[in-house]
């Protein structure tokens, strides 16, 4: 999932200050799962904003709405009426959602309420960790489904570096050594020998270094 965290409330207050009617718009998929922008977070943030502006004597209308996904037109349309009633949208979706809402509603400022952080998983209750850089050239099959590009601090394609201690990374002792995980996994799979094979440097043209990437599926077009 895409992991995000809510911006500081002081930053949000400053952003929405110029507008009299603001819609706090939640997204019910990734950011809901990481407790940053689902229905519950929308309710809390909207309530805080109402109380804060009321205390300032600043009369504002803060309303709430949550759709299933802010990155799909089908769901975005459900918010059209609510967006139309407001002067600005405070979107709690990831960066893609914010931009998609802005693309559909050209006359309404769309402001980001969260910082989109990474693509990851919920490793434990309340703990989210990054697991994918979206490099565009997945090699997980060679590494026992552990992404060394994301999870090794040195991004070694041919590891380990030799600096880990007790299975932890020397760069950050709180992080598991990705190469230790690779080796453990490959051993369990009985494929440890395959790590003897040299893996050539990555072709970074598939990453976003050359600007935004596009994916076109001709078979999906009428």
Partner 1 sequence: MTDGRPVVTLFYCVNALSRQTAQDLENAAEFEIRPVHMACSSMVKDVLLLKGFEAGADLVVVATCPPGQCQFIDGNSRARKRVERVRRLMDEAGLEGRRLIIIDRGLELEYAGILKEFESALE
Residues at the contact surface with partner 1, assessed by CB under 8 A: 8-10, 13, 40, 43-44, 47-52, 55-56
**H helices then E strands: how many in the chain?**
8, 7
Given a contact cutoff of 8 angstroms between Cβ atoms, the answer to whether 30 and 2 are in contact is yes
Report residue 120 as tokens. Answer: 């990851």
Q: Three-state SS for 160?
A: coil
Q: How far is the CB of 47 from partner 1 (least distance, A)?
A: 4
Residue 66 or 150 with smaller CB distance to partner 1: 66
- Name the residue nearer to partner 1 (CB basis): 48 or 121: 48
Nearer to partner 1, 10 or 59 (CB): 10
Smaller CB separation from partner 1, 12 or 67: 12
CA distances from 36 to 121, 154, 174 (A): 14, 29, 24
CB 128 → partner 1: shortest distance, Å? Answer: 17
| Minimum CB distance to partner 1, residue 17 (Å) | 13
- C-alpha span between 114 and 212 (Å, rounded): 21
Task: Report how far apart, in Å, the C-alpha atoms of 3 and of each of 31, 83, 145, 215 are.
Answer: 6, 25, 20, 22
**Min CB(166)–partner 1 separation in Å:** 30
């Amino acid at each position: 999932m895409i992991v995000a965290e809510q911006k500081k409330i002081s930053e949000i207050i400053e952003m929405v200050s110029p507008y009299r009617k603001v819609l706090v718009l939640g997204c019910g998929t990734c950011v809901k799962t990481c407790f940053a922008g689902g229905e519950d977070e929308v309710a809390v943030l909207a309530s805080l904003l109402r109380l804060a502006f009321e205390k300032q004597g600043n009369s504002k209308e803060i309303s709430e709405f949550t759709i299933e996904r802010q990155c799909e037109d089908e769901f975005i349309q459900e918010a059209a009426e609510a967006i139309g009633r407001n002067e600005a949208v405070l979107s709690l979706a990831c960066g893609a959602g914010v931009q998609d809402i802005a693309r559909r509603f050209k006359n309404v400022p769309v402001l980001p309420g969260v910082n989109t952080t990474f693509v990851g998983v919920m490793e434990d209750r309340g703990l989210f960790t990054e697991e994918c850089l979206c490099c565009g050239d997945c090699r997980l099959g060679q590494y026992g489904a552990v992404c060394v590009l994301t999870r090794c601090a040195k991004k070694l394609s041919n590891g380990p570096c030799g600096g880990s201690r007790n299975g932890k990374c020397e760069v950050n002792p709180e992080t598991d050594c990705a190469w230790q995980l690779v080796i453990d996994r490959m051993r369990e799979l009985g494929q440890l020998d395959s790590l003897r094979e040299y893996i050539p440097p990555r072709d970074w043209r598939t990453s976003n270094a050359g600007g935004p990437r596009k994916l076109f599926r001709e078979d999906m077009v009428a």
